[in-house]
Amino acid sequence: MASLRPWIRIVAEPLYHYVIVRADAPAGVQAAQIIHAAGESGPAEPSTFAVALHATPTQLAVLEAVLLAHGVDHVAIRESDPPWDGALMAIGIRPVRKSVVRHLVRHLPLVR
């Protein structure tokens, strides 16, 4: 009689693609920057969740420094056109396991 092996289901932790955008920018500018940051920090894997968060300009600057300090791969989007003139507008975090960055961004609200 053949031995029975229990079936073990291994489920990989899904990836999360975070984009954080300035909350003080107009909605249309936010949408453009979200798209820009997502495109620059992609590509997305087939089972990637997309998460868009709001941040103040100060929170964005602090987050950029924190991501650098933690070695988290990301793209900082700065808008060269007026009236922003080089301001940090958004950050796209390359798709990563939620457990790697969640503790760094959990204080930021979802874009609604």
Q: How far apart are CA 55 and CA 78, in angstroms?
A: 14
* CATH code for the part of the protein at 15-102: 3.40.1490.10
Q: Give the count of beta carbons closer than 10 Å to the beta carbon of residue 64.
A: 15
Residue range 58-95, pLDDT digits in tens: 999 999 999 999 999 999 999 998 999 999 999 999 99
pLDDT of residue 3: 53
Residue range 3-12, pLDDT digits in tens: 555 556 566 7
The answer to whether the CB of 65 falls within 8 A of the CB of 91 is: no
pTM, whole model, 2 decimals? Answer: 0.76
The domain limits of the chain are: 15-102
